Structure 1
Amino acid sequence: MGHKLENRLWGAWVTVVFAICSQVLYGQVLQHPLHWIGVVFGWSLNTFATLAATTVISAYVLDCFPQHVALASSWLNFWRVTGGFVITYFNPNWIAHNGPAITFGCQAAIVAVSLASVIATQIWGSRWRMKFPVPAPEN
């Protein structure tokens, strides 16, 4: 079996497991009178999942676009930062309305469903690259 860029995405499966566990734990600890160390542990798992996912996705995208590293990195960081800022606008109201357990449980479900995009890329990514080749570098 030769080197296939999509093999890099197997690491995303691990990050999804950590992200789901972290969201559920975080929501449950905030919802119920559980020990504060649960918040620390949940947030630590979430931080690890975010950093690991960023590393996995960056490695894949930068391998796909070796002549466009600056542009690819810029887009990855733009979406990561945008997601981090946007959630602060709706998450407090969502938590106030539904409680932390439901809010973070729904976010865990969103993470789980997002794994479908990774699976699709693992299955069809090489075909997509053949059908839509990388443009030539501009400089």
Structure 2
Amino acid sequence: MNTSIRRNGGVFEAESRLWAIYTAMPLYVCGFVLIGASLKQHLSPGAFVMGWGLAEVAIMVNTVAVYAYCSDAFPKHQGEVSALINLARVLGGFAVAYFQVPWATKHGALQTFGVEAAIVTFLFILVVPALQLKGRTLRARFSL
């Protein structure tokens, strides 16, 4: 934060919170691919645990970064933003279970978790850099 504030001439920008996601994405991809490979190739339980641990660390870093960004971007509506993010996480988590298990049974866990990691990476590349570049103008134009 101090570096970001110095770079912006003493002004804090909410988009500086999103830099943590860049460090979490490689962990997420490695974790999910390792989970899929350990299930598909019948690797040791240690491989599965390491993959799960990497994925969970990445999910925690991403969640904290998104909560911090949204709290800074919408300071008067922190409760509503938190509720909407939790709703999206819960509905998304339940929705994945409906298609992930049959897909993994048919095509294998490596493909399932690999494609899931690819989708998350694609959404990251699509959203986060654009939000960092245009976030200030979006907040100024559509602020609540």
TM-score range relative to shorter protein: over 0.9
2:128 to 118, 123, 126: 118
Q: CA deviation at 1:64?
A: 0.6
Name the structure 2 match of 1:18.
27
Structure showing the higher helix proportion among its residues: 2
1:44 and 2:53 aligned: yes
Name the structure 1 match of 2:137.
127
Q: Tell me the TM-score normalized by structure 1.
A: 0.92
1:89 to 77, 90, 98: 98
Tell me the secondary structure at the aligned position of residue 67 of structure 1: helix
Q: CA deviation at 1:33?
A: 2.7
The runs of 5 or more residues in structure 1 that have no matched partner are 135-139
Q: CA deviation at 1:44?
A: 1.1
Name the structure 1 match of 2:3.
none
1:72 and 2:104 aligned: no
Distance, in Å, in 1 between the alignment partners of 2:13 and 2:76 is 18
How many corresponding residue pairs? 134
Tell me the secondary structure at the aligned position of residue 68 of structure 1: helix
Higher relative contact order (CA 8 A, sep 6+): 1
CA-to-partner distance for each residue in 1:11-54, whole Å, 9 max, x for gaps? 01111111111111111111113111111111111111111111
Distance, in Å, in 2 between the alignment partners of 1:33 and 1:70 is 43
The runs of 5 or more residues in structure 2 that have no matched partner are 1-6
CA-to-partner distance for each residue in 1:49-72, whole Å, 9 max, x for gaps? 111111000000000111111101
Name the structure 2 match of 1:137.
none
Q: Tell me the TM-score normalized by structure 2.
A: 0.89
Distance, in Å, in 2 between the alignment partners of 1:46 and 1:124 is 29
Between the two proteins, what is the percent identity of the paired residues?
Answer: 34
- Partner letter of residue 45 of structure 2? W
Instruction: Return structure 1 stretches of 4+ with deviation > 4 angstroms.
Output: none
Distance, in Å, in 1 between the alignment partners of 2:123 and 2:43 is 29
Name the structure 2 match of 1:34.
43
